[in-house]
Every structure is written in C-alpha cells, then in structure tokens.
Copies of this chain bind each other. A is one copy, B any other.
Amino acid sequence: MKGRSPLRGSVVLLSGGMDSATCLALAARDAKPVHALTVVYGQRHAREAASAKRLVRHFRAVEHRTVRLPIQSLLPSALTDRRRPLPSRRGHPSRGPIPATYVPARNTILLALALAFAEARRCRSIYIGANAVDYSGYPDCRPEFLTAFERLAARATRVAVEEGRPVHVVAPLLRKSKAGIVREGEKLGVPWGLTWSCYRGGRRPCGHCDACRLRRKGFAEAGIQDPLVGS
C-alpha cells in the first residue's frame, strides 16, 4: 500500500520507575512524537502509575494511555499477590534462580499491547526499559527475548506485512548498570523525584525491598543524591 505516511514517533512503556522514566527521556529526545503506555496489571506498586502521569507531563508526550489488565487471578507472583512475601534478601536480586517477583510472560504481554498501540498510531518504535544486568534472572529481560519479539512483530501487524514497515523494539538500557542508568537519566534531566521504585506502595520508599536496594546502590555508585530519600 504505497503512498501512506511513513511510521514516526514511538510508544514508550512507562511504569513510572526510574528505568522507564529514562526511556521516556530518551524517546522524547530521539523519537518524537511520544505516546506513553502504562499497563496496570495489579502489581502492588500501583503508585508508580501516578508517577507515570507526572513524567508524561514533564516530558510532553502527546498522549498517555493507561490500560488496566486484571490478570492477578491468572498469574501467581509476589508482585501481584499480597499473600506472597516480597523478596528482600541481602545483596543483588539477580543472584540465584528467577526471583519471586517474576510475573509470567510479563514483558510479552506489555510488548504485545505496545505493538498494538504502535500500529494504531503508526509509530516507528517501542521503547522498553528492559535491563539484562540487574534483572538477569528474568527471562524476558534478555537480548534474545527482545530479538525474538522484534522478529514476531515483523510478522504480526498490518504495517509490517502490507506496507513492509515493521515496528522496532528499542531497549536502550539493556546493558547498563543501575548506576549507568542514573548517569544517563541525569544527563537527560530526568526528575528523579517524580519516579517511584519501591515494590511496596507506601508514602515513602520502604528502603528494604529489592527495588529500593537496587535504586540506592545505583544512586550511590553514580555519586548522585536521590531526592526521594532525602539527604
């Protein structure tokens, strides 16, 4: 189908955490117009969704959609089930087997929704904050997963098959350490105070869960003060 406008802009998967906030900053610099997509899948830290809203305003995305996906009953995970204990063991969450906060096929679902959104808006790319360094335990944060999804996307949509314009998956943080992400975000002016990481949804970060520890470590190694923690 010749003559249709080329694809432009991006869909950014935006949870409201520091990784997706940095992704949003990158897309706002490199892949405008930006359409943000927040998927609330019953995770405990729904507070992230409020952060997402503020980040969208800050970076002037042209659109922000929130999809509520009530899949807790399908998926047992410590991230979606309040009866399961959250992991807060010492050290690095990527050690050992796949963590208890793993949600079955989570990134497959998120990317599938982003793909639909990208096709509907004729976007060129999907930005996802997947990270294979700190989340090496998650199968769907690995480069081979993302490559397989991109191959799927090239066969899945009308824009790809009929127009020969596949949607690309961009994972700019894939091989960065948490400190590297903090440095990158800092350069791009990410307002860290608007982001949220803690797995528990309290008023202040708990400081003990894997997400809090990882965040603290990242800021410490980057030598930057986290405004959420206070000095």
Q: Is the C-beta of A65 less than 8 angstroms from some C-beta in chain B?
A: yes
Render A114-149 as a binary contact track against B, CB cut-off 8 A, 1 for contact. Answer: 011101100000000000000000011010110011
Within 8 A of B (CB), among A33-55: 37
Q: Check A157–B104 contact: CB distance below 8 A.
A: yes
| Range, interface on chain A | 35 or more
Interface segment among A71-79, A172-180, A204-212: the answer is A71-79
Tell me if A's interface is mostly helix, strand, loop or mixed: helix
Q: List which A50-104 residues lie within 8 A (CB) of chain B.
A: 65, 67-71, 73-76, 97-98, 102-104
Q: CA A120 – CA B106 in complex, angstroms?
A: 12
A residues engaging B (CB < 8 A)? 1, 37, 65, 67-71, 73-76, 97-98, 102-109, 111-113, 115-117, 119-120, 139-140, 142, 144-145, 148-149, 151-158, 160-162
